[in-house]
Amino acid sequence: MPVLPVLIVSVVVCVDLADGAGMIWLPLLAAGPALAATTNGPRGVVWVGLLTVVLCATLGTRDGVPGRELAAVLSALVAVTLAGGLASALRGRRERVLAAVRSVAETAQHALLKPVPATVGPFQVAVRYSAAAAEARIGGDLYALVPTPYGVRLIVGDVRGKGLPAVGTAALVLGVFREAAYDEPDLLAVVDRIERSLARNLGHDDFVTAVVAGFPQAGHLEVVNCGHTPPLLVRASGSVAEVEPAHPAPPLGLRALTGDTPGLRVLPFADGDQLLLYTDGVTEARDRGRAFYPLAEGLERHVSHEPAHTLDALHDELLAHVGGRLHDDAALLLIRKPALSESRVPEAAVPPATVPGPAPTARGRYFSATSDMAQGR
């Protein structure tokens, strides 16, 4: 029901009835179908157009408007109605195309940037991602976190450029990382695999900044930084410090130009510690005064025992800092090692009898009976 257009038409009719000026107010009835074209489908536009034509003819006859002038107004209303109906149909078609594109973008995002569970191995994890193009849903920033035989490993990176080429490069990096993270026992070897793949597939001016981190054993953190913004390490005491690279290294894809190789930095990572990886879309976000967002200070203010709550607060503060919309892709990934008392329940609290086992399947019953027969039971 086109409520607002009908309301506008009603106001014009009431003013005309009160004033009785005829030709002064009748042309304003065209606002009804014109407004309906922006809010309703073609049927709604035609319905409002017919209503305005009937009311215009009635009021024009009542006010004694000359026939030629009244016919001109009625013709204008019919023309506005037809044009509004066409515009409404085109708008509806564009909206359907946009909905289809957004659906494809969401599917691509889920395939490229797979959802990260709240718990991975012994760690709590949270991710927040915002693409600069609001309707695109995906961009050039990338992240991934995978449990491997060598511990949990993760990557956060930023592809040079935007659009579909950047998305394709991000997909390449994530694919190589997920495979190499399972195969290579050394974290530097994982980075080398990504570097070799990018050297074969990227152009001369393309590159990817990235931080690759791993937790090979309890209490240890490994970090390899390839030209990316340094991660922030939050100790259980609440102190925040940047994890600077062992020595400066070029972004992925540019090693052949400099010959420099990244170094591995090993740090202690105790219970209650947290590691925040992010892209420059966060730290380079500016407010109206052109001031950068102070991520380290924001993290100190909002850090909590729940990574999801911490990132929610940081993301809301970031959007408020820029005035509601980011101008670059931004990714945040926070991983936390909970204390033993937080992550485990004493065994005495859960008696074994209260935990039912899975019901045997037909296949299981068959092999159980076969075993009994073989043992003469």
DSSP 293: P
* Percent of the chain with pLDDT strictly greater than 70: 83
Query: What would the mean pLDDT of 284-293 be, rounded to a whole number?
Result: 90
pLDDT at 128 over 50: yes
The predicted-structure confidence for 56-99, as pLDDT tens digits, reads as follows 888 888 878 888 888 988 999 999 999 999 999 999 898 888 77
What distance in Å separates the CA atoms of residue 131 and residue 334, rounded to the nearest whole number?
A: 18
Both structure tokens of 144: 């991934």
In angstroms, the CA 275 to CA 353 distance is 39
d(CA 142, CA 170): 6
What pLDDT score was predicted for residue 21?
A: 65
Mean pLDDT, rounded, for 208-213: 95
pTM of the model: 0.68
